[in-house]
């Protein structure tokens, strides 16, 4: 990891370098100032001394990675069948999402981007509540006001998914700064893609956090693409991690498909933040294996040959190979796990769809202000009258509570 004290040296080394970068952040013939931190080789092998997670934790995180993959696949299928309106997932990025989230403490707050559903579930969000948000039914804590995939789970300190790019970054910094003032031991973790590192909010958040040594971990999922824009066209910076230099904070590149490395790097970043040593920008190098969302067709701009090398680096088989190599996971256990996860998701979807009640009509107007304004009361009456007069809404489920 580059700490502020040795960032100047890194920068000079980069500035004085000649030759063509090889795309991994280092020019030929020179020590790479932004090496990728890795614990597990691509075949899953690792130095046992470098493994910082206990066997049971590792197995649990593997199960969650499998769960995340299956949930994403199932939700995409539901969207294709017209059963939910929209989905955006994390296929290929599971190690980045879970490795970071699992390294935080329960009191810490997570400020997600929009691919971190596995982190919401890790923080205790019940699957039925997640699915209710997906369907916008009466079980949805947000009363169907948000697009699908915009869950929030306050009991687990998981704020609402943030679709406007980068806005969650200064929010995470503000929350951590407030905790610091109150002397609470909270560190915030904020997620964003590499595209968001070109946003105003990235600058605002990292600048403030750098100046005030705010306890925030900035987790960039560098998945190579901002919808159809490849990383190379997003920023002229050779790496995302080196953007930390400008803010005087620590930066580190991590193999985002290596759960062990992501977890260890996040633990270090959290420890630094908690000790008052300031924030860290973690660049988790990973890849978006599928489309941006269900509204996207990557075939329009990305040849499948570009994806193939990354399929071979899939974080799930890699961790499976690691576990198998250490005698912690067998083929029979894998088959049982896949079947068990499939059944759990299928059953939860069945139950969620059977719960067909819609959110009450009133919920459109409640909760906007502490008390409804006369304008809202008037609008509510208007909607009630319109619904009552419309034969298409004779279904009592449309009539609210």
Ligand X SMILES: Cc1ncc(C[n+]2csc(CCOP(=O)(O)OP(=O)(O)O)c2C)c(N)n1
- Active site (catalytic) residues: 288, 292, 301
Least distance from C-beta 176 to ligand X, angstroms?
21
Tell me which residues in 196-235 interact with ligand X (CB under 6 A).
196, 221, 223, 225-227
CB 251 within 8 A of CB 245: yes
Q: Which of 14, 69, 74, 115 binds ligand X (CB under 6 A)?
A: 115
150 contacts ligand X (rule: CB under 6 A): no
Helix (H/G/I), strand (E/B), else coil: 133? helix
- Binding flags for ligand X, 26-55, as an x/- string (CB under 6 A): ------------------------------
- Nearby residues of 266 by Cβ (< 8 Å), 6 or more positions away: 99, 100, 103, 104, 189, 217, 219, 282
Please name every residue paired with 191 in a beta bridge, in sequence order, or none if there are none.
219
Q: Which CB atom, from 139 or from 256, has the smaller least distance to ligand X?
A: 256
Residue number with CB closer to ligand X (139 or 193): 193
Which helix (H) or strand (E) segment holds residue 226: the answer is strand 225-226
Total residues binding ligand X (CB under 6 A): 16
Q: What is the DSSP string of 228-275?
A: TEEHHHH-S-S-STTHHHHHT-EEEEEETT-HHHHHHHHHHHHHHHHT
261 to 300, contacts with ligand X by CB under 6 A? 288, 292
Query: Does 87 participate in binding ligand X (rule CB under 6 A)?
Result: no
Which ranges of 16-111 would DSSP assign to H, the alpha helix? 55-80, 94-101
Q: How far is the CB of 101 from ligand X (least distance, A)?
A: 15
Nearer Cβ to ligand X (215/224) = 224
Kindly tell me which of 288 and 358 has the beta carbon lying closer to ligand X. 288
Closest residue to ligand X, judged by C-beta, is 193
The alpha carbon torsion through 147, 151, 152, 155 (nearest 10 deg) reads 150
Q: Who's near 15: CB < 8 A, 6+ residues apart? A: none
| Minimum separation from the CB atom of position 211 to ligand X (A) | 24
CB 274 within 8 A of CB 292: no
Give the nearest distance from C-beta 177 to ligand X in angstroms.
23
**Contact set with ligand X (CB under 6 A):** 115, 163-165, 192-196, 221, 223, 225-227, 288, 292
């Amino acid at each position: 990891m580059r700490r502020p004290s040795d960032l100047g040296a890194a920068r000079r080394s980069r500035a004085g370098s000649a030759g063509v970068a090889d795309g991994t952040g280092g020019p030929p013939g020179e020590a790479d100032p932004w090496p990728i931190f890795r614990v597990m080789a691509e075949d899953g092998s690792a130095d046992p001394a470098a493994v910082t997670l206990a066997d049971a934790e590792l197995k649990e995180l593997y199960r969650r990675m499998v769960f995340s993959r299956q949930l994403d696949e199932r939700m995409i299928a539901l969207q294709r069948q017209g059963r939910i309106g929209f989905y955006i997932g994390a296929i290929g990025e599971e190690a980045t999402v879970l490795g970071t989230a699992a390294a935080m403490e329960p009191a810490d707050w997570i400020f997600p981007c929009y691919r971190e559903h596995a982190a919401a579930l890790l923080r205790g969000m019940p699957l039925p509540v997640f699915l209710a948000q997906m369907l916008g039914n009466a079980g949805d804590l947000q009363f169907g006001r948000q697009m699908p995939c915009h869950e929030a789970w306050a009991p687990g300190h998981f704020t609402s998914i943030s679709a406007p790019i980068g806005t969650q970054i200064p929010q995470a910094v503000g929350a951590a700064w407030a905790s610091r003032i109150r002397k609470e031991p909270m560190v915030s973790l904020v997620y964003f893609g590499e595209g968001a590192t070109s946003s105003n909010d990235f600058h605002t958040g990292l600048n403030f956090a750098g100046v005030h040594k705010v306890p925030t971990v900035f987790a960039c999922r560098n998945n190579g693409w901002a919808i159809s824009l490849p990383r190379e066209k997003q920023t002229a910076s050779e790496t995302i991690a080196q953007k930390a230099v400008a803010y005087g904070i620590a930066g580190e590149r991590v193999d985002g498909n290596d759960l062990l490395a992501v977890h260890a790097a996040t633990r270090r970043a959290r420890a630094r933040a908690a000790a008052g040593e300031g924030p860290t920008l973690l660049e988790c190098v990973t890849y978006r294996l599928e489309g941006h969302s269900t509204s996207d067709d990557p075939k329009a701009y990305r040849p499948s040959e570009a994806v193939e090398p990354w399929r071979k680096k899939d974080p799930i088989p890699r961790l499976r190979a690691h576990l198998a190599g250490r005698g912690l996971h067998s083929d029979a256990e894998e088959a049982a796990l896949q079947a068990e996860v499939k059944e759990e998701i299928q059953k939860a979807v069945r139950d969620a769809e059977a719960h067909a009640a819609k959110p009450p009509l009133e919920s459109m107007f409640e909760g906007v202000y502490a008390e409804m304004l006369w304008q809202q009361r008037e609008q509510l009456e208007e909607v009630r009258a319109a619904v009552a007069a419309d034969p298409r809404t004779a279904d009592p489920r449309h009539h609210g509570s």
